[in-house]
Homo-oligomer: A and B are copies of this chain.
Amino acid sequence: MTADLLDMLKEQDLPYLKDWLNSKQPYEIANELLHADAAGMALVFRLLDKGKALAVFEELDPSDQQEILAGLRDRAFRELVEGMDPDDRARLIGETPAKVARRVLAGLSPHERQMTAALLGYPEGSAGRAMTPEVVALHRSLTAAEALNVVRTKGANAETVYTLPVVDDGRRLVGITSLRDLVTAPTDRRVNDIATMDFVSARATDEAEDAARLMRDANLLDLPIVDSEDRLLGLLTIDDAVEVLEEAETEDAYRQSGSEPLAGSYLLAGIWMLATRRVPWLMLLFVAAILTINVLDHFEENLAEVTALALFIPMITGSGGNTGAQSATSVVRALALAEVRVRDVPRVLWTEARVGALLGLALGLVGIVIGLVFADLQLALVIAISLLAVCTWAAIVGGCMPLFAKKLGIDPAVVSAPMVATLVDATGLIIYFMTARTILGL
């Protein structure tokens, strides 16, 4: 367990490295590669045998694959891209510069090139891009025994033979059966009678993310993908669906902190890519923060009169931001899991208002003590009342904004903790100073 690819690469201990590569699963090697540099990656790929090199390669993200391809000679390059699954290859081509894409396509046999081109015809992020076109389709008139023979002869190239789509003469999808049902059915039974006709499918132009969520909800191993006339095009397999969901989760996680997701892995990203992914939202929020300057500018006289008011500004705005972020996260997550819908706005509003008030009450009680320690009773009251109002308001804003975003066709996850915090900051300050004016009689 103490052996480490990086150390072995540094010490150029090739025999030991070869042993290590033989003893590890492809996904373990791929994970280790993410920490190596370009020269190290190239060395590893020269030492791996053909089959394992392909398996390791397919575990990597397209942007990391690109780095490896750049370091390979023509023959090794061609062997890798020819061996890839068509959907993985389409993904690689879709996410690399045109020059690399052309080199990949040029290295392919006509059959593989044609399959890849077909997948590339579907928009990025669609179910069509992510599906495998290599499926074993069964004609509805076959018997179970005949169908099993089809699986035996045609199954070798297919990514899966567990979900078996049933089609009619026009290759229209009419049912679904499984290898399990085929194996246990009487040999002379017709596929048409074994198959279930009550199945779910998706269009090739549907979002891959929606198709993957459907698979998760309906507990499917594979989802048939059809065209607009219900003709079978391929299958979305569960391992690809898991990957699609993982990417969606990563995107949500990044958006929720006000940044755009990276292409590829963190350590290989480089500071320029990291900065450019983060700067748009950061700048937007920065400019939005001008509102807070305006508000404080407006109340500058009060601030000059009671300097102690300034002491509690970060605490008030911070609590509002935190409360709002909690609400936003609950609702964004509930939307992602389809637990909440846009029309639930009134229920969410009413729920969050009461939760926010409860939280504001709790903070307000502690706030009185803090106010008494650092100032006087009057200011303590200002703090407590402000916290109650700010938390209630922040919870409502945080809870409802993701629903409005969804309604407007915007990804609800962009309603991030930083965005809610920034929006609530200015209104929180207004609440704070208006309360102060009333109670302190300014």
Contact with B along A260-295 (1 / 0, CB 8 A): 001001110001001100110111011101101100
Asked whether, in the complex, the Cβ of A155 is within 8 Å of the Cβ of B184, the reply is yes
**Does any Cβ of B come within 8 Å of A106's Cβ?**
no
Q: Is B217 within 8 A of A257, CB to CB?
A: no
The answer to whether A180 and B179 touch across the interface, beta carbons within 8 angstroms, is yes
Q: Are B418 and A321 interface neighbours, CB within 8 A?
A: yes
* Smallest beta-carbon distance A405→chain B, Å: 16
Q: Are A314's CB and B313's CB within 8 A?
A: yes
| Residues of A219-270 whose CB lies within 8 A of B | 219, 221, 238-239, 242-243, 245-246, 249-250, 252-254, 256-259, 262, 265-267
Of residues A161, A256, A282, A314, which shows the largest number of chain B Cβ atoms within 10 Å of its Cβ? A314
**Given B34, B246, B275, B329, which contacts A259 in the complex, CB threshold below 8 Å?**
B329
- Tell yes or no: A108 within 8 A of B by CB: no
Determine if A25 and B218 form an interchain contact, defined as CB atoms under 8 angstroms apart.
Answer: yes
Contact, CB under 8 Å: B310 / A313 = yes
Q: A292-B314, A314-B425, A340-B266 are in contact. Are A258 and B325 (CB under 8 A)?
A: yes
Inside 8 A of A283's CB, which chain B residues have their CB? 362-363, 366
Determine if A13 is an interface residue (Cβ-Cβ < 8 Å): no
- Of chain B, the residue at the smallest CB distance from A241 is B242
A296 at interface by CB-CB < 8 Å: yes
Tell me the bound Cα distance from A358 to B200 in angstroms. 49
Q: Mark out the residues of chain A between 17 and 56 whose CB falls within 8 Å of any chain B CB in the assembled complex.
A: 25-27, 30-31, 34-35
Q: Judge if A115 is at the interface, Cβ distance under 8 Å.
A: no
A320 to chain B, nearest CB (A): 11
Contact A359 B282 (CB under 8 A): yes
Q: Is the CB of A321 within 8 A of B25?
A: no
Selecting from A70-78, A89-97, A297-305, the interface stretch reads A297-305
Which residues of A133-174 are within 8 A (CB) of B?
Answer: 148, 151-152, 155-156, 161-162
Q: Which of B35, B183, B265 contacts A337 (CB 8 A)?
A: B265
* Cross-chain contact A274 with B317 (CB below 8 angstroms): no
Known A162-B162, A300-B307, A358-B275: A250·B319 in contact at CB below 8 Å:
no
Write out the residue numbers on chain B whose beta carbons fall within 8 Å of the beta carbon of A290: 315, 370
* Of the residues B243, B282, B315, B326, contact of A289 by C-beta under 8 Å: B315
Please name all residues of chain B whose beta carbon is closer than 8 Å to the beta carbon of A246 when the two chains form the complex. Answer: 216, 245, 337
Contact indicator A161/B148 (Cβ below 8 Å): no
- Copies of the protein in its oligomer: 2
- Tell me whether A266 and B334 are in contact (CB under 8 A): yes
Whether the pair B333, A253 counts as a contact (CB closer than 8 A) is yes
Q: Is A429 an interface residue (CB 8 A)?
A: yes
A192 adjacent to chain B (CB < 8 Å): no
Q: Given A265-B339, A319-B286, A374–B293 Cβ distance below 8 Å?
A: yes
Check if A318 sits within 8 Å of B285, measured CB to CB: yes
**B216 in contact with A271 (CB, 8 Å):** no
| Interface residues, chain A, with chain B CB atoms under 8 Å away | 25-27, 30-31, 34-35, 59, 148, 151-152, 155-156, 161-162, 179-180, 183-184, 198, 200, 216-219, 221, 238-239, 242-243, 245-246, 249-250, 252-254, 256-259, 262, 265-267, 271, 274-275, 278-279, 281-283, 285-287, 289-290, 292-293, 296-297, 300, 303-304, 307-308, 310-315, 317-319, 321-323, 325-326, 328-334, 337-341, 344, 347, 351, 354-355, 358-359, 362-363, 366-367, 370, 374, 416-418, 421-422, 425, 429
Beyond the given pairs A34-B339, A282-B362, A283-B363, 9 more chain A to chain B contacts, judged by CB atoms under 8 angstroms and listed by A's residue number, are: A27-B217, A156-B184, A161-B183, A179-B183, A256-B329, A281-B322, A286-B319, A292-B318, A293-B311
